[in-house]
Amino acid sequence: MKNPALKPYCRQVMSRDNDVIRFKMERSTLEIDDPDGSIFAFIRLLDGARGVEEIASECRLTAREVEEGLALLDRHRLLACGTADPIGLTEREQIRYKNNLTYFSLYESLNESRFDFQKKLKNATVAVVGLGGGSVIAAWLAAMGVGRIVGVDFDRVELNNLNRQFFYTEDDVGEYKTIALQRRLHALNRDVKVEVHQRRIESAQSLVDIAAEADMMVSAIDTPPLMGSRYVNAACLHRRIPSYYLSIGNRLGFYFRVLPYESGCTDCRVLHIMRTDPVTAGRIRRQVAGAAADADTGNPGFAPNVAVMTALVASDIAKQLTGYSAISDMPFGLVPFHDMDISRRSIPRYSDCPSCGRSADPGTDEWVEPVALERLLEVAEEAAPLSGERENR
C-alpha cells in the first residue's frame, strides 16, 4: 500500500468535539467515536509521508487496526490515492483535464485514482444519434474527454437551429450536421476521435453496426415519431449496451437511461403509459392510428432548457462510464422548465414487453427490429395494469 494521505479538503471539513470526530461533507456527515483521542491522532498522521507500520507505532495501534481504520476512511472516499500513476494520459491531457482531475480526486480511493477515471473516459466510445440537441451532448462529451464520439444524422444545419443548438455557428448553416459536428468537435478537442454517419434511421438494423462498436448510445431523434427511439432501443438491447433518451417538450423535458434487460426499456415505457396514463395513452393511440396529428405548435426548444437536459444526460454518461459516483437507481428524470425542480422515478420492466420481456430472445442474432407500434398497443391492452403481470425491479 502507498503511504496513506487524507484528501486535503477532508482536513477542512474535519472537527472533533465531545469525543466525536466529524467529517461534515456537503450532503452527509461521517461521525466516529473517539473517546481517548487515539483516532484523531491516527488521522493526523495520514499525511502521505508515513507508512502503515510507522503510523501504528506512533499512535500505539496494531498494523491491523491501522488497516481497518484506513479501510473505513477509504469506504467514505476520504483518502487520496497518493502518487497515482498518470500512465495512459499524455502530458497535454494532464493539463487539458486538470480540473477534471481535481474533480475526480474528490471521488478517488486507494485503489482507483483520478487518472483512472479520466482514462476510462478516454477509452470510451459514445454514439449520438440525432445531431440537433445531440450536438450539444457531443460537445459536453468532447469537452470532458470521451475518446471516441460517433455522430449520426442526415439533416443540415438551419438558421433556426442556432437558438439552441449553439455548438454550431452561422458558418455551418446549410452544411450537413455530421460534417459540421466533425469540424466543431475537432476545433474543441483535437484529441477526440470523431466518426460520423450520414444516415437516416428507419430501422434498428441501420444502427446495429454502430452499437456494436459503442459503449453506449444516446438517442436525440424525434423522427420517425415514436419509432426513432424504439430503433435505438432495439439496436442497443441487441448489442446489450446502455442507451439514453431525451425529449424536450413545451413546459417540461425528460430523459432516461436503459440498462439492457435490467431497467425498463422504451417499450416498457410505452406499456407503462398505456396502462397508467389515460391522457397520454389516448394521444399515442390517435397517433398510431394515423388520426390527424395534433396541431403543429412549432418547436419550443430554448437554449437554457436544452443546455440543462443535455448536461443531465452527459453527467449520467460520465458516471456510467467511469463509476466515479453511483448512477441513480431511478433512471427517469422529469424536468419542469419553470422551476427546474427535477423529479426522478423508475420505469418498471414489464415481463410482457416484446423488446426486453420474457418473450424477447436476446440470444438470437437475426432478431433486431421492434414489433410494430400497433402490436405494442395490443400487448398493452392484453393485461390490466394491476393484474400482477407487472414486473417491478
Q: What residues make contact with Zn ion under the rule CB under 5 A?
A: 265, 267-268, 353, 355-356
What gap in Å lies between CA 232 and CA 207, rounded to an integer? Answer: 7
Nearer to Zn ion, 8 or 363 (CB): 363
Q: Which DSSP helix (H) or strand (E) runs through 125?
A: strand 125-129
CB of 283 to Zn ion, least distance (A): 21
CB of 350 to Zn ion, least distance (A): 6
Given a contact cutoff of 8 angstroms between Cβ atoms, the answer to whether 281 and 293 are in contact is no
Nearer to Zn ion, 211 or 353 (CB): 353
CB of 326 to Zn ion, least distance (A): 23
Nearer to Zn ion, 31 or 277 (CB): 277
Nearer to Zn ion, 214 or 376 (CB): 376
Residue whose grid cell is 439533416 = 155
CB of 363 to Zn ion, least distance (A): 16
Alpha helices in the chain (DSSP H): 8-13, 38-44, 52-58, 63-75, 91-96, 98-105, 114-122, 133-144, 177-188, 205-212, 227-239, 266-276, 278-288, 303-322, 373-382
Nearer to Zn ion, 77 or 275 (CB): 275
Phi and psi, residue 233, nearest 5°: -55, -45
CB of 44 to Zn ion, least distance (A): 53
Q: Which DSSP helix (H) or strand (E) runs through 336?
A: strand 332-336
Given a contact cutoff of 8 angstroms between Cβ atoms, the answer to whether 127 and 201 are in contact is no
Nearer to Zn ion, 133 or 370 (CB): 370
Query: Any long-range contacts for 259-264 (C-beta under 8 Å, 24+ apart)?
Result: 259/331, 260/236, 260/356, 260/362, 261/237, 261/349, 261/356, 261/362, 262/349, 262/393, 263/331, 263/346, 263/347, 263/349, 263/393, 264/346, 264/347, 264/348, 264/349, 264/350, 264/353, 264/356
CB of 359 to Zn ion, least distance (A): 11
Nearer to Zn ion, 173 or 371 (CB): 371
CB of 349 to Zn ion, least distance (A): 6
Nearer to Zn ion, 10 or 360 (CB): 360
CB of 88 to Zn ion, least distance (A): 37
Q: What is the number of residues in the chain?
A: 393
Residues 6+ apart with CB under 8 A from 266: 229, 230, 232, 233, 245, 258, 355
